[in-house]
A and B are shown apart, each in its own frame.
Chain A
Amino acid sequence: MTLRRAIALLLLIGGVAMQGCANVKPWERETLAEPAMQLDSNPTVSSCDDHIYFSREASKGGRGFGGGGCGCN
């Protein structure tokens, strides 16, 4: 009974917490694309890494070039 209550409580807390989650569509990521939104301690190194990925995989953006988290490409 106690376990059931604990599970119910967890589900309730999880349900309430998930109210804050939102699915941001690709075309709604303008704010996320701003450089200030980027979780990156060293943008220069990341930029070099991106260049390497571009050279090897011929794809652009997605991790720094497009801005923080815009999800471009």
Chain B
Amino acid sequence: MLRTACIGIALLVAAASARAAKVGAAAPDFSLTSRDGKQSALSGHKGKVLLINFWASWCAPCADELPELNQLAIDERGKEVGVIAINVDKDSGKARALLSQLNLESPALEILWDPDSKAVAAYNPETMPSSFVVDAGGIIRFVHAGFHDRDPKTWRKELKDLLGSPEKAPPGSASPPSHS
């Protein structure tokens, strides 16, 4: 009886802590609407090294991170790199207002809307914001939970490493997740 209860509790805990997108796993595909109303899918970026970020208008660190992501997209322009920022707001109006406030009305990074939480649920990030660095083969290589001042430097190093030798890049988590 006690054993059954323990197994049941362990299964519940395991189910609650299950993560869909882990380092070394294939990045879940998605098809979302972009700022200009077009559909954009992960499969459409095949062959590129990607940084996929999840953000929200109500998340304060996200507002600090977005300009850094946009700068990254500018710096990596012309390379086989894509910087995708997926917004998880139910109401995209708030997100557009934040972008306007940050002078990112026409950003270099690709902004996608996920009002139904389809993509974010598939990636299941631990916190907001979170970023997933995906290699050219579609495998998640690094996960960044939250935003820290050291992150822009780390992103560049990871992208450079993956562009150089995608098959040799060691999988690992670059920044330890921090919780509040």
Task: Mark A residues whose CB is within 8 Å of B.
Answer: 23, 25-30, 33-34, 58-63, 65-67, 70-73
Contacts of B149 in A (CB 8 A): 58
Contacts of A58 in B (CB 8 A): 148-150
Contacts of B16 in A (CB 8 A): 23
Q: Number of contacts between A and B (CB, 8 Å)?
A: 82
Cα distance, A41 to B59, chains bound together (Å): 22
Task: Mark B residues whose CB is within 8 Å of A.
Answer: 16, 54, 56, 58-62, 64, 88-90, 117, 120-121, 124-130, 146-150, 178-180
> What 14 new A-B contacts, CB under 8 Å, besides A33-B58, A73-B61?
A23-B16, A26-B128, A26-B130, A27-B54, A27-B56, A27-B88, A27-B125, A30-B89, A66-B58, A67-B58, A72-B127, A72-B146, A73-B128, A73-B147
SS class, residues of chain A in contact with chain B: loop
Q: Give the interface centre of B54, B90, B147, B180 by most chain A CB atoms within 10 Å.
A: B180
Contact B128 A72 (CB under 8 A): yes
Residue of A nearest to B147 (CB): A73
SS class, residues of chain B in contact with chain A: loop
Contact B178 A27 (CB under 8 A): no
Nearest CB on A from B66, distance (A): 13
Contact B60 A27 (CB under 8 A): no
Contact A72 B61 (CB under 8 A): yes
